[in-house]
């Protein structure tokens, strides 16, 4: 489909540096995609033009939205229309996102066994729990999160999109995620952010 995207709505996010652009069609069928300066193909005209502005920290795509985090919240006043124009002129659908796990593995999972799993197996279960409950909520605010590793009861996550560098992500949101994983999996779980 070569049809261009239209921005239906522009939403502020809890992170003052990030703005969420809601599109008229899906940009990514499943998962999410984070694009950082220098970490994209030269054939990605959209990423090239966005990062050529020299003010963009990162781009986060999921379902039918794209959130863009700038180096300073003050820059939005000057650049919001320009960024919207680049999205509408250059954005193309991404074929695949960064890996996400199917939540169907939770159907047969006995949470009593969680503490006995290997750290690699724990990552898969934690990912599935987050996919089911936490990621959709973060997506509403233009962000997401990535599980970096699980080491015993410690879960290390990195925020993506609008959630990265957002003041509420390091405090309240982190506690909500930790409490959710404790109630779903293991009361000993501790969640740390990884930057």
User: Nearest to residue 18, comparing CAs of 168, 133, 148?
Assistant: 168
| Domains assigned to the chain | 7-90 (3.30.1370.70), 103-193 (3.30.300.130)
Q: How far apart are CA 155 and CA 113, in angstroms?
A: 17
pLDDT at 85 over 90: yes
Percent of the chain having pLDDT more than 70? 95
What confidence score (pLDDT) does residue 1 get? 46
- Please give the structure tokens belonging to residue 130: 């987050």
CA Rg value for the chain: 18
Q: How far apart are CA 121 and CA 158, in angstroms?
A: 19
pLDDT at 137 over 50: yes
User: Nearest to residue 163, comparing CAs of 11, 7, 13, 5?
Assistant: 13
pLDDT (tens digit per residue) in 146-184: 899 999 999 999 988 888 878 777 778 888 899 989 998
Q: How many CA atoms lie within 13 A of 72 on its CB side?
A: 5
Q: How far apart are CA 116 and CA 92, in angstroms?
A: 44
Q: How far apart are CA 195 and CA 55, in angstroms?
A: 20
pLDDT at 10 over 80: yes
Maximum C-alpha span of the chain: 53
Q: Is the pTM of this model over 0.85?
A: no
pLDDT (tens digit per residue) in 37-82: 877 778 899 999 999 999 999 899 988 999 999 999 999 999 999 9
Tell me if residue 40 falls in helix, strand or coil.
Answer: coil
If you write DSSP's letter for every residue of 124-169 in order, what string do you get? HHHHHHIIIIIHHHHHHTTEEEEEEEEETTEEEEEEEETTTT-HHI
């Amino acid at each position: 489909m070569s049809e261009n995207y239209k921005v239906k709505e522009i939403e502020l996010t809890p992170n003052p540096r990030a703005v969420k652009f809601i599109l008229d069609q899906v940009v990514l069928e499943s998962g999410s995609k984070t694009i950082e300066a220098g970490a994209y193909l030269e054939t990605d005209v959209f990423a090239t033009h966005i990062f050529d502005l020299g003010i963009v920290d990162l781009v986060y795509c999921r379902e039918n939205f794209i959130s863009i985090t700038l180096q300073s919240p003050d820059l939005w006043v000057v650049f919001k229309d320009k960024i919207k124009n680049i999205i509408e002129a250059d954005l193309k659908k991404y074929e695949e996102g960064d890996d996400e796990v199917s939540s169907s593995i939770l159907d047969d999972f006995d949470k009593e066994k969680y503490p006995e799993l290997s750290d690699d197996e724990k990552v898969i279960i934690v990912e599935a729990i987050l996919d089911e409950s936490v990621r959709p909520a973060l997506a509403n605010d233009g962000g997401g999160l990535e599980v970096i590793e699980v080491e015993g009861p410690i879960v290390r996550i990195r925020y993506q999109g609008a959630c990265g560098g957002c003041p509420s992500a390091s405090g309240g949101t982190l506690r909500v995620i930790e409490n959710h994983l404790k109630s779903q999996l293991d009361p000993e779980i501790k969640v740390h952010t990884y930057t």
